[in-house]
Amino acid sequence: MFVQQLEPVADSLSLSALVAALPLVTVLVLLGGVRMRAHYAGPIGLAVAVLVAWLPYGMPVGQTLSSAAQGAVFGLFPIMWIVVNALWVYRMTVRTGHFDVLRRSFGRFSDDPRVQALVIAFCFGALLEALAGFGAPVAICSVMLVALGFDPVRAAVVALVANTAPVAFGAMATPVVTLAQVTGEPLDSVASVVGRQTPLLALVVPLLLVALVDGRRGLRETWGPALACGIAFAVAQFTVSNYLSVQLADIAAALIGAVALVAVPAARRPAEGRVRAAALTGVRGDDLDGDDLDRDDPRPEVLRAYAPYALIVAVFSIAQIGPVKELLAKATRTFDWPFLDVAAPDGKPVGGNVFSLPLLATGGTLVLVAGAATAVVLRVAVRDALREWAATVRELRHAILTVTSVLALAYVMNLSGQAAGIGHLVAAAGAGLAFLSPVLGWFGVAVSGSDTSANALFGALQVTAARESGLSPDLLAAANSSGGVLGKMISPQNLTIACAAVGLKGREGDLLRKVLPWSLALLLVMCLIVVAQSSFLLGWMLP
């Protein structure tokens, strides 16, 4: 058995944490500073994590490699499994021409790219996050924006930034459910606090999206629709998460936010040609006269264009029905991961020794089922559908390498004790714990790309630190998840998914430099919210 150490470097928690941060720092510097391609930076970061685990942290080589293998498998299934199948559905719609029909349908609602960003990236992306998560919203929404004419970089940035407010309740509230399980706190208590933090982000993010699309002019001209959408989303997310159903919080918020946006007359106002040109293609407005947004499509073709996404919603909704959910769960295989026997510093075995493989009850398999139904509805021959799936895998080969290496890095850091050392350093902040608590969640998601993983890693630590410092355990547990959602946009795996979706191969570093300032700025806002909620300023917000 390997027992994790918190202070292996000179018996100093601070020095040990600095050494433990080397793998993540390496990846971020290579991406953002050196501009190295992610499928090279990921394996290099993994090599650094292995060396740190082996040398200063003393993890046996065999167990280090075994933990890396487990992370790589998790990267393939379920994460890349859902991304591959989601993009496969998209490729079939492109092949049949129905994606152009969908693009024209969105374009006829409003030709204003700022409003289109709200409809697609914020509302539709939140719905996808609620049902699937794990990169599907970024992959699908960024592609849809590009199809509407957005510059690929701008489309990817908008999709990444939009994928924040719904994340804590994404994938049918999996992150919050996991948080409650690992902390021992009641689900309703934890979810109610998260539901009083992330809705505050929802008020800001739509305004930020229109600013990203069209700068100050976009904010000045479309603040009304953005604010209406954000307020409706926030109120719905707060109400449903606190009083109705945690699992339905994002579904309700996404739909009600979209309804509120549609109800605002300004959202349907035609955009000026210069707005469309600058925000979408960078060309003169006159050059956009030849687009086909005014083309009328037969109603059956429009229905077929929406069918793939309606099928995704239907399949995921059916999968949440009690008997169906239980039936799918029976196919899950749980077993001891080979060559791995790790104990936490207190001597108790860690959860990573056991691996769970949800063969059917996972987003990727459900999207695959929806994809098969899509092929039937769109009349794609079986041979052609299989060719499109194989082409999708081939297109994503570098993204697959990146995601598997980054998840392998995250698992090595987690199981060797590197991540725990960093967590304990933050937890030792004393009076500053309320401010640093969201930072810990942000760091966990930046490493793993998953709010669920960050909650599993640091949730119990946050509760323990809160009790020792006299703060609310529910507040800091929720802060871990709420801060974590802001690390998703800078996670190497999500950057890679965005680049792969819009054809920006090797441009992950460019995206990182564009989204990092927004990630840090929103993180600062969340830190201040948690501090205020821990004091008399906003303490009244807590249940």
- Spatial distance between the Cα atoms of 184 and 285, rounded to a whole number of angstroms: 57
Q: What's the Cα-to-Cα distance from 162 to each of 156, 273, 349, 454, 486, rounded to whole Å?
A: 10, 25, 38, 20, 10
Torsion of CA 141, 143, 147, 151, to 10 degrees: 100
The torsion angles phi and psi of 19, rounded to 5 degrees, stand at: -65, -40
Q: 535 is written with which tokens?
A: 């004091």
Single pTM value for the model = 0.77
238-256 b/e (C-beta count within 10 Å ≥ 16 → b): bbbbbeeebbbbbbbbbbb
Assess contact for 456 and 420: CB atoms under 8 A. no
What is the distance between the alpha carbons of residues 167 and 486, in angstroms, rounded to a whole number?
9
CA neighbor of 165 nearest in space, from 152, 175, 156? 175
Q: What is the CA radius of gyration of the chain?
A: 22
Q: Could you tell me where the DSSP H helices lie in 380-485?
A: 382-395, 397-416, 418-427, 433-448, 451-469, 473-484
Q: Which of 246, 249, 133 is nearest to 179 (CA)?
A: 246
Give the separation between CA 204 and CA 211, rounded to whole angstroms: 11
User: For each of the chain's 543 residues, which pLDDT tens digit applies?
Assistant: 999 999 999 999 999 989 998 988 888 788 777 878 778 888 999 999 999 999 999 999 999 999 999 989 988 887 778 778 877 888 899 899 998 888 788 767 787 889 999 999 999 899 888 876 767 789 888 888 887 788 899 999 999 999 999 999 987 787 888 788 778 788 899 999 999 999 999 999 999 999 999 888 889 989 999 999 999 999 999 999 999 888 889 989 999 999 999 898 877 666 665 455 455 544 333 333 335 556 788 999 999 998 987 898 788 778 878 899 899 999 999 999 999 999 988 899 988 899 888 888 877 898 899 999 999 999 999 999 999 999 989 988 887 888 788 788 888 988 998 888 887 887 777 668 899 999 989 988 887 778 877 887 688 778 878 887 788 999 999 999 999 999 999 988 789 889 888 888 778 888 999 999 999 999 999 999 999 999 999 999 988
- Which amino acid, one-letter code, is at 519? S
- Distance (Å, whole) CA 495 – CA 509: 8
> How many whole angstroms separate alpha carbon 370 and alpha carbon 328?
15
Q: How far apart are CA 199 and CA 233, in angstroms?
A: 7
